[in-house]
Amino acid sequence: MNLTSLLALIVSSTLVYSAPLILASLGGVYSENSGVVNIGLEGIMTVGAFTSIIFNLTFAQDFGAATPWLGALVGAIFGLIFSLLHAFATINLHADHIISGTVLNLLAPPLGVFLIKAIYEKGQTPNITANFGYTNIPGLADIPVIGKIFFTNTSAPAWLAIIITVLLWWILYKTRIGLRLRSTGENPQAADTLGVNVYKMRYIGVLTSGFMAGLGGAVFAQSISGNFSISTIVGQGFMALAAVIFGKWNPIGAMLSSLFFGFAQSLSIIGNQLPGFEKIPTVYMQIAPYVITIVVLVVFLGKSVAPAAAGVNYIKSK
Amino acid sequence: MIKVSAKTKRYLVPIISVIAGFLIGAIIMLIWSYNPITAYSSMFASALGNMNGLGETIREATPLIFTAVGFAIASKAGFFNIGLPGQAQAGWLTSVWIVLANPTLPKYILLPLAILAGALAGAIVAGIAGFLRAYFGTNEVITTIMLNYIVLYLCQYLMQQVMPESLRNGADTTKDIPANGSLHLDWLSHLFGDSRINAGIFLGVGAILIYWFLMKKTTVGFEIKAVGLNPFASRYAGISAKKNIILSMLLSGGFAGIGGVVQGLGTYQNYFTQTSSINIGWDGLSVALLGNSTAIGILIASLLFSILKIGGLGMQTVAGVPYEIVSIVIAAIIFFIAIKYVFDLLFAVKKTASYKHPLKKGTEIGPNNGVDGPNIKLQKEGPVL
Amino acid sequence: MENKNTVIEMKHIVKDFNGFKANNDINLKLHKGEILALLGENGAGKSTLMSILSGLLEPTSGEIFVNGEKTNIASPTAAKKLGIGMVHQHFMLANSFTVLENIILGHETTKGPVLDIKKAKEKVLALSERYHLAIDPDKKVADITVAQQQRVEILKILYRGANILIFDEPTAVLTPQEIKEFMNILKGLAHEGKSIILITHKLEEIKAVADEVTIIRTGQDVGTYQVKDISNKRMAELMVGHAVEMKLTKRAENFGQNILEVKDLQVKENRGNLAIKGLSLSLRAGEILGIAGIDGNGQDELVEAITGLRHVDQGSVIINGQDMTNKPTRKITEQGVASIPADRQKYGLILQMSVADNLILQSYYQQPFSHHGIINFDAIKKHAKAAVKKFDIRTASSDLPTGELSGGNQQKVIIARELERGSDLIIAFQPTRGLDVGAIEYIHKQLLKERDRGKAILLVSYELNEIMQLSDRILVLHDGQKSGVVKPDQTNETELGLLMTGIQKEGQDLDQSFS
């Protein structure tokens, strides 16, 4: 294996594993910046995964190559619907954000398996035929060396996720709605007195997280697992949450962290193909994202990098 | 709005949540054309209708008692220990390993040793989060979540790569533990229709009593509660927040660890590779939330969830309803517990005495909180004087 | 009078919180270009009334006229539309946002949905120049001073085109010099045609800037007066509801040995900068040492260092002859130190716990309250019963959560706990903050009684009146250093005010200026 194809292998598998993390962590960034802690990303990803798989299995013959993309959209929409539960509970009913998020995580896997049993009469779906697979990006793939490493046989959802990252960063920091959204996570009381609709902004934050995590779950299911069972989404959502923290609640930071975690995950899988990596126990790669997140939290000490009012319920006085 | 006393309300919230949770389950069953009445009746019949079912239900409740007590202790100290699965798993693997590695030790040494080692393993995992919280202010929700996965993968690694092959059957299961390291009691198992009920339940009842005594009667419990309710005032009063944070997390993880021990030395008699966070952790969290972290509440809630889980198996066979409906019902119950604000709207607590600031609601913020409060009126109003 | 334009008129305002009338038939009239002071004690209902005016609360009954038209101010947005803006006592700013972002939030200058930062900055700078409110729009709010933050708050409402400005206790956090500057800002605003409501309980400020004063007491309207026609004493009487006699009787000095000695103390604040920079002081038995100074000049750090809550970097703290530097809080408490914290709800009490439990918060581990770690509830109850009686704590039962008590009675719980232990050193940090006159008087008397019994009292307060009335000696703290030590009968507020800004350091600065 020459260096270029070695790098190409690492890059493409990193991108494949990063894509779901980038998408879900962007959702986490939005939710937390609006002031709602969302540890339910895992559950939302599960919903995105099983709805997209059901869609994919049902409509693959109708939509052909477009199926996984439509499936991703379906997963995102159902993720958004599922996150309404978290939004309603925390924003309107003042529920504890951690408990409400835990409910999402408790609810999604059995709900998915229940429906799959009800539809397919077994606890695991068949494998999908139309998955994301690998793509050559037109134009860019022809660039010498770089084209081969980054844009040939690569993950299209990952590049889409990177584009979405830039877009969401721009919205969060450069537009009116972004400023208002961040203000409700920073000081909802101040925002309210200035006429910012705190509930609306927080709904936008949570529903964005639902959409993005649903999308992430759908991408994972349709590019990595290929089917849905109780063990499809195990820890992906929590790793996305880790990326939110490691990325300091910033979309770009979350994307870079996700890429790094995706790299660690892919190493634990393709490591034995890489010279020098085959002797390292995969456990180090598996636990790296989680250990790093703890270390990062400790190193930042109590410095308030998180939105000041994340997790704090706001009650309108009228 | 219905007026009730504060005490009645404490009972009403979990009872109504349970009923509402069952209703949600029934609605989902109706949507998919299952008969909820057949389903629920077959559930209760198979969990409680025969000695074997009863024994299995009690057996199922045993680890939940431990993990729930673990969660409750941390939550009294103000911490949300979401790392119960990892702590329990650490306890499970450790205790089984100790027993397998020392099969010749006499039972009265080996069993306590294995249980304590399991507790210690859980305590260490939770203690990391406690230590980081105490000395670096690191949010324990995040660290315990991350530790769950660290433990999950480390246990896979230890089981598959480090454990001597002589203790294993293949890569994914250990050998069964010898009798002198087991919590299995022949007479008890026979009494309950040869179910897997074991001596763990006696330890569980002991754990509940210890928890009750610790929190209600001792200065240790007083300190933990004080730190949990107001860490600033506690520190001002000379109560070491650091000490109590770490102590409560160690105790929390220790109990969770024994939850894993009773799975290993009681239920399964071995350890096998886990691919996701183990259930007794999440279920213990749910039990503690439903039981409102009280001793009696934990006991009742753990039995209720066990009825659901054991009965759910019967329900699947008899009524043909997928087992997962049980987990949906549990999640729904916890959802209703979480939105207790709705209960505040439904039930007004009868005024016991004095006037309360109208704008102050726990730690939540709203305009004008605590500023210019109408406190002084109290001296003229109210039945207090 | 008739030719004046009335911009706000509130008629017969009632606000009922579950049977408690925070406002009971209050009337208020504000004229264009004038400053109306709203005077009342803590809890009189000033903030409630202003929350109604700024759309945060809805009145139970009553009418509001803005510019002669009857209106219903349903939300902060509605208030904003009517040109009403409020500067809250606790600033409502997002600390991690820039000054500019804070000002434009909710009323952004945009091109389409995109923020137009450049144009917004021009607008804000123009306002800042016109009203002499100097700010740096690109600095983060967390990095600017309190006085600057207040200017940001004012700019926030001016930016929204407010013509009616409400200030809620605006000078509580300012230095005397900053207050002077602020008074000029207020006059300037009024001169520019803005109408201002100034919520305060400081009579001098009313005299300095206000045209009229509306006085309310326990939710009721006591009347509106022309400021030039009413004396300070009369205003105070109307506010309190009875003749005010502010003089406390103090017994002759009878000092004993040193109880507290602080030597060359150096303490850091949370961000790691020195907050106490080589401070020395001593305090004798039977003496009250007042620590005067503006909030944030090292008071918190000094008290925390003495009570073992904060690490001492250099120097020593000697209590009753024992070196207690960096000893745990519990050891220091046992050495005979009582401490009444500044924030009673955060540091003094566990509100969810019962009165009885709060009364033993430092002694639960000792006999008779517990034995070998097992709590003795009978002893705790007995102790609580006695304390409730002795300190006249008004509560239905000592089992009641402390949070259900009134502010004054909560403070009594703390006083009872701290004084009952028989400590030699009593640290009282803002002991009367937010209390009504009756409770203040009670606490002052208790402190003087302890002094006469030979206790050493360290009184840290931001209220100069309190310091002047109680202290035997006053140490003025500025920027973590001693800027002067004076006797209350040999000084006045002006001198203290200058010392508080560090202008005169024990006369040394004056000497230097001659050389």
- Does A167 reach chain C within 8 Å, measured CB to CB? no
Give the integer Cα–Cα distance in Å for B47 and A63.
47
Choose among B222, B371, B380: nearest Cβ to C375: B222
Q: Cβ distance B47 to B53 under 8 Å? A: yes
The reported pLDDT for the residue numbered C242 is 66
What confidence category does residue B379 fall into, taking pLDDT thresholds of 50, 70 and 90?
Answer: very low
What is the SS3 assignment for C201?
coil
**Nearest CA distance, A312 vs chain C (angstrom):** 14
Amino acid at the residue C499: L
Choose among C86, C108, C156: nearest Cβ to A179: C108
Chain A residues in contact with B313 by the CB 8 A cut-off are none
What is the SS3 assignment for B322?
coil
- Residues in chain C predicted with pLDDT less than 70, given as ranges, are 1-3, 42-43, 175-176, 242-248, 503-515
- Element (DSSP H or E) covering residue C222: strand C220-226
Start-to-end C-alpha separation, chain B: 28
Q: Cβ distance B163 to B97 under 8 Å? A: yes
The reported pLDDT for the residue numbered B181 is 93
Choose among B153, B322, B359: nearest Cβ to A317: B359
Q: Are B220 and C373 inside 8 Å of each other by CB?
A: yes
Chain B residues in contact with A100 by the CB 8 A cut-off are 335, 338-339
Give the integer Cα–Cα distance in Å for A275 and A284.
17
| DSSP β-ladder status, C114-115 and C35-39 | unpaired
Give which of B368, B379, B381 to mutate to test C binding, by max C Cβ within 10 Å. B368
Within 10 angstroms of residue A299's Cβ, the number of other Cβ atoms is 10
The reported pLDDT for the residue numbered C508 is 43
Is B137 a member of any domain? yes
| CB proximity under 8 Å: A 276-305 to C | 304
Domain C259-514 has CATH 3.60.9.10: no
Give the integer Cα–Cα distance in Å for B353 and B378.
10
Chain A residues in contact with B285 by the CB 8 A cut-off are 102
Q: Which domain holds residue B146?
A: 35-320
- Does C269 reach chain A within 8 Å, measured CB to CB? no
Entry pTM: 0.86
Domain spans of chain A, in order of start: 3-299
Chain B residues in contact with C44 by the CB 8 A cut-off are 372
Q: Cβ distance C462 to C146 under 8 Å? A: no
pLDDT at A315 over 90: no
The reported pLDDT for the residue numbered C177 is 72
Give the integer Cα–Cα distance in Å for A171 and B40.
50
The reported pLDDT for the residue numbered C288 is 95
Please enumerate in sequence order all residues whose Cβ is within 8 A of that of C131, keeping only pairs 6 or more positions apart, or say none: C154, C155, C158, C185, C188, C189, C192
Q: Cβ distance B281 to B69 under 8 Å? A: no
Residue with token string 């019967």 = B314
- Does B75 reach chain C within 8 Å, measured CB to CB? no
Is B29 a member of any domain? no
Q: Are A186 and C56 inside 8 Å of each other by CB?
A: no
What confidence category does residue B385 fall into, taking pLDDT thresholds of 50, 70 and 90?
Answer: very low
What confidence category does residue A106 fall into, taking pLDDT thresholds of 50, 70 and 90?
Answer: very high
Which fold would CATH assign to domain C1-83+163-241? Answer: Rossmann fold (3.40.50)
| DSSP β-ladder status, B2-4 and B347-349 | parallel
Please enumerate in sequence order all residues whose Cβ is within 8 A of that of B197, keeping only pairs 6 or more positions apart, or say none: B55, B56, B58, B59, B188, B189
Quickly list DSSP for chain A: --HHHHHHHHHHHHHHHHHHHHHHHHHHHHHHHTT---TTHHHHHHHHHHHHHHHHHHHHHHHGGGHHHHHHHHHHHHHHHHHHHHHIIIIIS---HHHHHHHHHHHHHHHHHHHHHHHHSSSSPPPPSS----BPPTTGGGSTTHIIIIISSB-HHHHHHHHHHHHHHHHHHHBHHHHHHHHHHH-HHHHHHTT--HHHHHHHHHHHHHHHHHHHHHHHIIIII-S--TTSSSSHHHHHHHHHHHTTT-HHHHHHHHHHHHHHHHHHHHGGGSTTTTTS-HHHHHHHHHHHHHHHHHHTTT---S-TTTT--B----
Chain A residues in contact with B365 by the CB 8 A cut-off are 188-189, 309, 312, 314-315
Choose among C77, C96, C113: nearest Cβ to A195: C77
What is the SS3 assignment for C372?
coil
How far out from the chain centre does Cα A203 lie?
18
Q: Are C43 and B220 inside 8 Å of each other by CB?
A: no
The reported pLDDT for the residue numbered A317 is 53
Give the integer Cα–Cα distance in Å for A143 and B353.
78
Give which of B33, B81, B149 to mutate to test A binding, by max A Cβ within 10 Å. B149
Q: Are B153 and A117 inside 8 Å of each other by CB?
A: no
Angle at C63 between CA C60 and CA C66, to 5 degrees: 130
Chain C residues in contact with B378 by the CB 8 A cut-off are 394, 405-406, 409
Choose among C42, C375, C404: nearest Cβ to B353: C404
Is B369 a member of any domain? no
The reported pLDDT for the residue numbered A1 is 62
Q: Which of A179, A233, A178, A239 is nearest to A208 (CA)?
A: A178
Domain count, chain B: 1
pLDDT at A107 over 90: yes
Residue with token string 């120049």 = C129
Give the integer Cα–Cα distance in Å for C37 and C35.
6
Total residues found in chain B within this entry: 385
The encoded tokens of residue B310 equal 């054991």
Peptide linkage before C368 cis (omega within 30 of 0): yes
Give the 3-state secondary structure percentages of chain B, helix then strand then coil, rounded to 5: 70, 5, 25
What number is the average pLDDT over the span B300-316? 94
Identify the top-confidence range among A138-142, B184-188, B363-367, C86-90: B184-188
**Nearest CA distance, C340 vs chain A (angstrom):** 27
| CB proximity under 8 Å: B 23-82 to A | 28, 32, 80, 82
Q: Cβ distance C362 to C334 under 8 Å? A: no
The reported pLDDT for the residue numbered B366 is 28
Q: Report the residue of chain A nearest B137, measured CA to CA.
A: A302
The size of the B-C interface in CB pairs under 8 A is 147
Give the integer Cα–Cα distance in Å for B44 and B55.
13
The reported pLDDT for the residue numbered C3 is 53
Q: Are C328 and B238 inside 8 Å of each other by CB?
A: yes
Q: Which of C140, A47, C53, C327 is nearest to B328 (CA)?
A: A47
Which fold would CATH assign to domain A3-299? Answer: ABC transporter involved in vitamin B12 uptake, BtuC (1.10.3470)
Q: Which chains neighbour B (Cβ–Cβ under 8 Å, 3 or more pairs)?
A: A, C
Q: Which of C505, C16, C7, C432 is nearest to C248 (CA)?
A: C432
What number is the average pLDDT over the span B290-297? 94
Domain spans of chain C, in order of start: 1-83+163-241, 92-161, 259-514
Residue with token string 């500019």 = C100
Q: Which of B3, B342, B377 is nearest to C15 (CA)?
A: B377
What number is the average pLDDT over the span A111-133? 89
| CB proximity under 8 Å: B 226-255 to C | 226, 229-230, 232-240
| CB proximity under 8 Å: B 284-343 to A | 285-286, 289, 322, 324-328, 330-332, 334-335, 337-342
Chain C residues in contact with B225 by the CB 8 A cut-off are 353
